[in-house]
Amino acid sequence: MRKTSAPVDDREGRIDDRIDEREVEPDPESVARTICLNLLTAAPRSRAELATALRKRRVPGDVANRVLDRLTDVNLIDDAAYAEAYVESRHRGRGLARAALRAELRRKGVDEVTAGLAVEQIDGDAELAAAQALVARRLPVTSGLAPDVRARRLVGMLQRKGYPAGLAYRVVREALAAGGAEVSDGRPRA
């Protein structure tokens, strides 16, 4: 719907009835498409993230669904590909475990099945290797601390990254033992 401004006299006395572009209401579908494309240009996004952005910008639901469906049809939105790339990047870059990655994908609106399939690409050996690399990188920083304190801090770091307690204790105990520290069972004392 276009709003026109009232005719205005210019300096020479002529009537100017052109439309002021600032007063033209934009098409909701083009607004929604622009929002989505701008977000996708900055970084890959899940369909749910884009839907949330459109809701925040007060795009009508039916318009948002049409735009999201169209972007899905032309493969600009692909939650499965997004989840796989996200898992690969976050596991390699931040060393996150499968449980943490699954939870992050769910928070980003990726459905449970898609998140599960994406997380399956990390096998147990890769998760173990990532945990060992994280501990090896953090071990020198804790060198001046008592073995129990070192163990507690390292296990805590791994658990915050989503590693299971058993795996975290084992990796820390092995790393500390390799460095000559005595840790009875690898579990920090309360």
Distances (CA, A) of 140 to 94, 109, 179: 18, 38, 10
Domain of 25 in residue numbering reads as: 15-73
- Whether residue 187 is contained in a domain is answered as no
Instruction: Supply the pLDDT for residue 35.
Output: 93
Inform me whether the pLDDT recorded for 182 exceeds 90. no
> How large is the average pLDDT for residues 138-152?
90
Contact 186, 156 (CB under 8 A): no
Per residue in 62-116, pLDDT tens?
999 999 999 999 989 999 999 999 999 999 889 999 999 999 999 999 999 999 9
- Whether residue 5 is contained in a domain is answered as no
Distances (CA, A) of 119 to 12, 104, 113, 133, 143: 71, 11, 10, 19, 34
Instruction: Supply the pLDDT for residue 19.
Output: 57
Number of domains in the chain: 3
Per residue in 50-61, pLDDT tens?
999 999 999 999
Mean of the per-residue pLDDT values of the chain: 86
Inform me whether the pLDDT recorded for 189 exceeds 90. no
Percent of the chain with pLDDT strictly greater than 90: 67
- Whether residue 6 is contained in a domain is answered as no
pTM: 0.73
Nearest CA-CA partner of 92 in 134, 54, 64, 120: 134
Instruction: Supply the pLDDT for residue 93.
Output: 87
> How large is the average pLDDT for residues 7-13?
57
Inform me whether the pLDDT recorded for 38 exceeds 70. yes
Confidence of residue 28 (pLDDT cuts 50, 70, 90): confident
Confidence of residue 26 (pLDDT cuts 50, 70, 90): confident
128 in the same domain as 115: no
The full length of the chain comes to 190
Instruction: Supply the pLDDT for residue 9.
Output: 54
Query: What is the domain-level CATH number for residue 45?
Result: 1.10.10
- Whether residue 165 is contained in a domain is answered as yes
164 in the same domain as 136: yes
In this predicted structure, which of 16-25, 31-40, 71-80, 161-170 has the lowest mean pLDDT?
16-25
101 in the same domain as 150: no
105 in the same domain as 137: no
Contact 16, 8 (CB under 8 A): yes
- Whether residue 9 is contained in a domain is answered as no
The span from the CA of 164 to the CA of 182, in Å, is 22
Inform me whether the pLDDT recorded for 37 exceeds 50. yes
129 in the same domain as 103: no
The span from the CA of 93 to the CA of 77, in Å, is 23
